[in-house]
Amino acid sequence: MKQKVFSLEEVLDKIKDGQRIMFSDRHGELAADEIIDGMIKKGVKDITAVAITSGQPGMGLGRLVEENRVRRIETSHIGLNPTAINQMFAGKLDVEFIPQGTFAERIRAGGFGLGGVLTPTGIGTMVQEGKQILFLNGREYLLEKPIRADVALLRASKADKAGNLYFRQTNHLCQDYMAMAADLVIAEVEELVEIGELNQELIHVSAPVVDMLYVRKGEKRPMHPNWQRMIDKIKAREAAEA
């Protein structure tokens, strides 16, 4: 079986300046954190990020934005990341806002071999500017083009050594379609198991499309920093009340 477990250095060797990189994150709680650490240390820059949001300060893609490593971002939302908003208004960060459902379908098209998607989302808004509109079955649709990337950075709850991936609970998110739409698919893995140990009915991304696994060195799934701050506040309030 092809060897897919790699060191951080071997993974970072494939991540280069100027690449288009997909991040399968939400608001920074589902990032390939140790790989992002490594990217910052290595000095990777001028990347185009493709992600549902731009992360938050100190979390996920937000850290690369803070370090000025992101030149352009294709996303649906940057509202929880004031640094990204400031960079955008200052002209330092090029932002393409994509409706979130369209974001999913454009990447899906990129990974599933489709030439584009026809969607009613964005008709009558500035999202339609410069795009072809088709009138079909009594309704207007926008032709939205596929999105692909050089690298997809995923975060898996479990992987087996063959490269099959499993995502716990809401971590499933966009990871399966992103795994289909990048030339190189890298997963930062919380728990690595032997081949055959994952329930074959619960494999969300199949091994052949995954290229590299990196097993986290730190805590598998630490509490999110922003959740920890919320817990500290609640505890302080409870203590004050008691």
Partner 1 sequence: MTYTGRELIAARCAKFFKDGDFVNLGIGVPLMCTNYLPEGVDLWLEAEIGIVGSGPTPHYTEWDVDIADAGGLPTSLIKGGSIVPHDRSFGFIRGGHIDACVLGTLQVDQEGNIANWMIPGKFAPGMGGAMDLCAGVPRVIVATDHCEKNGASKILKKCTLPLTGAKCVTDIVTERCYFQVTDKGLVLKEIADGYSLDDIRACTEAAFTVADDVGVMG
**Contacts to partner 1 by CB under 8 A:** 26-29, 52-53, 56, 75-80, 85, 88-89, 95, 97, 99-102, 104-105, 108, 119-127, 157, 168-174, 176-177, 204, 221-224, 226-227, 230-231, 234-235
Min dist CB 34 to partner 1, Å, is 16
Q: What gap in Å lies between CA 32 and CA 107, rounded to an integer?
A: 19
> How far apart are CB 168 and partner 1 at their closest, in Å?
4
Nearer to partner 1, 43 or 113 (CB): 113
126 or 239: whose CB is closer to partner 1?
Answer: 126
Q: Which is nearer to partner 1, 40 or 127 (CB)?
A: 127
Cβ 43 to partner 1, closest distance in Å? 28
Distance from C-alpha of 53 to C-alpha of 25, rounded to nearest angstrom: 8
DSSP 184: E
Q: If DSSP codes are grouped into helix, strand and coil, which group holds residue 95?
A: strand
Tokens of 131: 């795009």
**Least Cβ distance, residue 126 to partner 1 (angstroms):** 5
* 29 neighbors 168 (Cβ within 8 angstroms): no
- Shortest Å distance, C-beta 1 to partner 1: 27
Rounded to the nearest whole angstrom, what is the least distance from the CB of residue 67 to partner 1 in the complex?
A: 21
User: Is there a contact between 62 and 89 (Cβ–Cβ < 8 Å)?
Assistant: no
Separation CA 36–CA 28 (nearest Å): 11
Decide whether 44 or 175 has the Cβ nearer to partner 1. 175
Closest to partner 1 by CB, 11 vs 24, is 24
Closer Cβ to partner 1, 56 or 83, answer by number: 56
Count Cα atoms within 13 angstroms, Cβ side, for 42.
Answer: 19
Structure tokens at 226: 């922003």
Q: Is 234 exposed, middle or buried (0-12, 13-18, 19+ CB in 10 A)?
A: exposed
